[in-house]
Amino acid sequence: MDNVQLLDSAISNVSFGANVKVVQPVNLYGCSIADHCFIGPFVEIQQNVSVGERTKIQSHSFVCSLVTIGTDCFIGHGVMFINDVFSEGGPARGDQSKWKRTHIGHHVSIGSNATILPVTICDHAVIGAGAVVTKDIRQPGIYAGNPARLIRKLAAQ
């Protein structure tokens, strides 16, 4: 094991609001988590992420840099956020200028194992389990599938 570097999960340089619950192990760094949030085990939240009040992020989810999540959201188990769209045919390899932003509105629920590419999701949207969101969602509703499509409209709140 002389040629192996072991890195521990950590909480580093995180701005926490009041009454936040974090179940370890987690890897949280350079992010902001507002009041009354819940972060489950085996979650990674990277730098330049903002999580709004009363949002719950369940286990095994990955929230990459440049994601903003609104208030009163639910992020299911194993949800993956993507910020690198392989714009030149392969990974950006650390070139953050090629990464894209994601904005999740308020009162959004994202089902387990969904994949969220760099998009904007409006308030009061529901994303089904296993959905792949490839385009902006601008209308409250229930979306499912790959790519995610509107299944049913919801009344604006």
Give the model's pLDDT for residue 156: 62
Cα dist. 36→18, 48, 51, 53 in Å? 6, 20, 11, 6
Give the model's pLDDT for residue 157: 60
- Side chain identity at 118, as an amino acid letter? P
CA–CA separation, 83 vs 99, rounded Å? 5
Phi and psi at 129, nearest 5°, equal -60, 135
The answer to whether residues 77 and 57 touch, using CB atoms and an 8 Å cutoff, is no
Domains and CATH numbers, the chain: 11-85+93-153 (2.160.10.10)
* Catalytic annotation present for 60: yes
pLDDT tens digits, one per residue of 12-50: 999 999 999 999 999 999 999 999 999 999 999 999 999
Q: Which of 60, 77, 103, 107 is catalytic?
A: 60
pLDDT tens digits, one per residue of 94-123: 788 889 999 999 999 999 999 999 999 999
| Per-residue confidence band for 133, with pLDDT thresholds at 50, 70 and 90 | very high
Q: What is the SS3 assignment for 146?
A: coil
Burial 121-130 (b: 16+ CB within 10 A, else e): bbbbbbbbeb
